[in-house]
Structure 1
């Protein structure tokens, strides 16, 4: 491999190696101290908006989906008692203290989440030998860096795991675009021209090093359903980015944004079964572009509605965002409780 790199050929339009041969955070490298200060300048009122759904939403996944809702359980004491309303005391027969202690089993990407750069890879001839291998951002390999479970051994991302994002200092300027304001609450496929029109109407300008936050109304519908949302009906709620549009993909590549976060599932639309627009992948072309080629993190199912409506009312479009994931080594995704300050 040239210069110790894991690849001889990188995908067309990719930035592999631009941030170093061993880079694992991609475009987050653009989040400099100066850009954090620029983001902090968006704080004028000191108001904070929590951008996380309750982690038991969307509410489906109860035996039918591969991602399941979180399940709490009580930890147990040394003598096997459930540590919930458990009297505790040392050196006394009549303890007055009481303790509760619990754990949780959860799917890291069930609700409000970050995708790590290990979430989506591709088969690609990175060795330039005519044979496609499974690779991820910056040429990290399946079987070497991204290890599938085997027997009693759990899966692990030895590279590109979510802990790399956790230590990247995820704070900066975020631009918020209301797609529901521009296109209404129904399903609309939003290409480059549509997005640019909506941004111009709302005074949104994306600078290098910015986060892009989208509000589609999907979060409002989930909250209103109170855990009883029909996933098939939700497929028709809210605008979605059309990753098939080459102009949109070019804009994402060129504008300098470091992450795209939306209140829906997937950021982009799904449901098409061809590559007629020249996409590398038939299901999720923006995932391929962002996670695989450019190292742009994706945030899904964020609660952006309240923030978006406030900004629109005030004639503003930007805020200061703080959104570190869990520092969970080896995971390919993470719950997140983002906070926007205006």
Structure 2
């Protein structure tokens, strides 16, 4: 057990779950928290909360992320796909198909690992900021890229596999922002969010997943894999990451993750604040870097939201494990809501 920092960022919880913690606020998903979530199962219906993983389509929106590409290994005179595998008395009986895929882990419905966003911060107290991630883990030592060295690449700490083994199940609570603002662009601060939750009779408790339905993923689907970036940038409500009251509430609420159906969860680019130094992604900075709160992006909530509206409910049981992929800074997933 090693404390990797002398200074911790203001407003952070570094060390509160132990000096070697790598799952942050997921530590608050206790057996009691899971049971509270399980009690939201009343009718046994389930909803898939993932987009098809080849959406949004193309890479005009994400120049550094690309949609999945399938590959097939050669076998015999062809490929290991529709391959006649076994032969009995001169008759081929079995046909087999295998495939592989190049998959950008944060292209579609995804979890951000705590290794996804760090900050320049003087954690060791020498007066010089260094690249640091949650709980003091270091770039180039714990989170290693090809510009750092040639081997042992990836997140040696804070990788997405830590979230996978934590058991990502609990009580999800939907804030139905689409019901209030429709497809209009609106920056949602603390007062707006509290108003929506109050109107729904919803309450966030320690260990809960806050799920934001904005209608953004529905708009993505309607574009049939030809997303219009200009339209998307002007559409749907989104959290205002510069709202200090909102950030303080997230810190104090005890929620373990924020899952949204839009890009980035927060408005990007964010409003420009006063001062010369500030994070470009203030909500990411608070959640991933300071508090160890995982973020889910581009989830699909439309069908679940319709059910919850019709039954005047806001809570459900959520199961949302990422891939157990050691070293990755994010992961696609297929979350399931059970009501």
Measured against aligned partners, the alpha-carbon deviations of 1:164-185 in whole angstroms (never above 9, x if no partner) come to 0000000000100111111221
Q: What is the aligned counterpart of 2:25 among 15, 27, 44?
A: 27
Q: 1:80 to 1:204 in 2, by over 3 A?
A: farther
**Which secondary structure does the structure 2 equivalent of 1:72 belong to?**
strand
For the 8 Å contact 2:61–2:227, the answer to whether it is kept is: no
RMSD: 1.8
User: Which one of the candidate residues 290, 293, 316 is aligned to 1:293?
Assistant: 290
Query: Per-residue deviation at 1:154?
Result: 7.1
Give me the whole-angstrom Cα distance separating, in 1, the residues matched to 2:277 and 2:237.
20
For residues 59 and 130 of structure 2, the distance between their equivalents in structure 1, rounded to whole angstroms, comes to 32
2:143 and 2:154 in contact (8 A); partners too: yes
Contact 2:257 2:293 in 1 (8 A): yes
In 1, Cα distance between equivalents of 2:61 and 2:197: 40
Q: How does 1:1-342 map to 2 (within 5 A)?
A: 4-61=2-59, 65-77=63-75, 79=76, 81-89=78-86, 93-150=90-147, 153=151, 155-272=153-270, 274-276=272-274, 280-281=278-279, 283-342=280-339
SS of match in other structure, 1:251 = helix
Give the distance between the partners of 2:277 and 2:321, measured in 1 at CA: 31
| CA spacing shift, 1:284–1:62, aligned 2, 3 Å | closer
How far apart are the structure 1 equivalents of 2:270 and 2:122? 25
- TM-score for the superposition, normalised by structure 1: 0.95
> SS of 1:4's equivalent?
coil
Q: Deviations over 1:207-248 (max 9, x none)?
A: 000000000000111111111221221111211100101000
Go from structure 1 to structure 2 and tell me whether the alpha carbon gap of 1:92 and 1:285 turns closer, same or farther (over 3 Å shift).
Answer: farther
In the superposition, the TM-score normalised over structure 2's length comes to 0.96
What secondary structure does 1:324 align onto? coil
Do the aligned partners of residues 335 and 153 (structure 1) sit closer, same or farther apart at CA in structure 2, a change above 3 Å counting? Answer: same
Q: SS of the counterpart of 1:38?
A: helix
**Contact 1:263–1:300 under 8 Å retained in 2:** yes
Offset from partner CA, 1:34-82 (integer Å, 9 cap, x none) = 11011000000100000000000011306971110001111333x4731
Shift of 1:91: 6.5
Consecutive unaligned residues of structure 1, counting only runs of 5 or more, are none
The CA distance in 1 between the partners of 2:278 and 2:169, in whole Å, is 31
Report the Cα offset of residue 149 of structure 1: 1.4
How far does residue 94 in structure 1 lie from its aligned partner after superposition? 3.2
1:249-288 Cα shifts (integer Å, max 9, x gaps): 000000100000000000000124633289840x210000
Structure 1 residue matching 2:79: 3-state secondary structure = coil
Counterpart Cα distance in 1 of 2:62 and 2:22: 34
C-alpha distance in 1 between matches for 2:2 and 2:256: 26
The 1:82/1:36 distance shift into structure 2, 3 A limit, reads same
Alignment deviations for residues 5-34 of structure 1 (CA, whole Å, 9 cap, x no partner): 100010001000000000000000000111
8 Å contact from structure 2 (residues 67, 103) kept in 1: yes
Q: How many residues align?
A: 338
**Contact persistence 2:24–2:292 (CA under 8 A):** yes
Q: 1:168 to 1:271 in 2, by over 3 A?
A: same
